[in-house]
Amino acid sequence: MKEFEGYLFKLHELEKILEASFDGIMVTDGEGNCLLANSSYTRNTGIRHDDIVGHNLKELINPIWMKRSVALEVIRAGEPMSLEHDTQNGNHIIVTGTPIFDEDHNLIRVVINTRDISEIKQMRAKLDEAQSMEKLYLKSLGLSKELICINDEPVVINNRMRDIFEVARRVSSYNTTVLITGESGTGKEIVARYIHKMDKCRKNKPFIVINCGAMPSNLLESELFGYTEGAFTGAIKGGKKGLFEEADGGVLFLDEIGEMEHQMQVKLLRALE
């Protein structure tokens, strides 16, 4: 008798534990008859305690707020199952059913766990709305390109361009010549300025840009390499430093280098080497 009383006491404790759970808990037998349901379950689902405990879940199936029963699905499949469900009281819940088998592998119980995820669903909807509004805003500003600049800072909105900027960041730490290719207007100078900015040794040194395709060869040569006093008619007294010398320690960006005359490219190659 004492052992029986102890068993009843433990069962009473178990009921209190289930009742204290924030998640909804409901248990059925192997036929879908509800054996117990805690108050969190009735709060989450909106189904009254008296309308479910002692009833078979087939009685609750309806085309409006309970089109499917996870417990019945678990009994049919013999394996755990989860689904999201909109309840009659306006909650959005996730329901998980777990089967329990006896020693002969007969399904004897199904434990149902419910959790209200209404707030998560609302947050997800707000996030989707915010992302849609962001796309519309960028589109209204004409920011459909791969790269835009705000306050001289690059803003990358394309995955391929992100990869390019990642390579630029890595190469910025090396003392080497960098070839940046791309059609006119694709942001080659922006990438060059980014490399200069990310280089800890060069960022405070000069960043000099020259358009190689906009100058004749003789003038371009004097601009790049400089000249001494009296080198040619009209030469500045005292001579002039070339851009290579002016950019010493910093970055010299040769824009449109492919438009340069071939004879000049040979001289430039020697300097780059």
My answer on whether 70 and 175 are in the same domain is no
The two tokens of residue 151 are 């306050």
My answer on whether 193 and 256 are in the same domain is no
My answer on whether 99 and 181 are in the same domain is no
Best-predicted range by mean pLDDT (95-109, 136-150, 176-190, 212-226): 95-109
My answer on whether 110 and 19 are in the same domain is yes
Q: Which of the four pLDDT bands, split at 50, 70 and 90, describes residue 193?
A: confident
pLDDT tens by residue, 10-41: 667 888 888 899 999 999 999 999 999 999 99
Whether 6 is in a domain gets the answer yes
pLDDT tens by residue, 153-186: 666 767 787 788 888 888 888 888 888 888 887 7
Number of domains into which the chain is organized: 3
CATH code of the domain covering residue 41: 3.30.450.20
Rounded to two decimals, the pTM is 0.47
Whether 128 is in a domain gets the answer no
Last residue of a domain, one of 184, 199, 214: 199
238 or 76, which is more confident: 76
CATH code of the domain covering residue 247: 3.40.50.300
Best-predicted range by mean pLDDT (91-100, 162-171, 232-241): 91-100
Task: Report the alpha-carbon distance of residue 95 to residue 206 in Å, rounded.
Answer: 64
CA distances from 148 to 81, 161, 185, 262 (A): 47, 11, 11, 34
Over range 57-74, report the average pLDDT: 90
Whether 122 is in a domain gets the answer no
Residue-range definition of the domain harbouring residue 166: 145-199
| pLDDT on residue 5 | 53
The two tokens of residue 217 are 């060869």
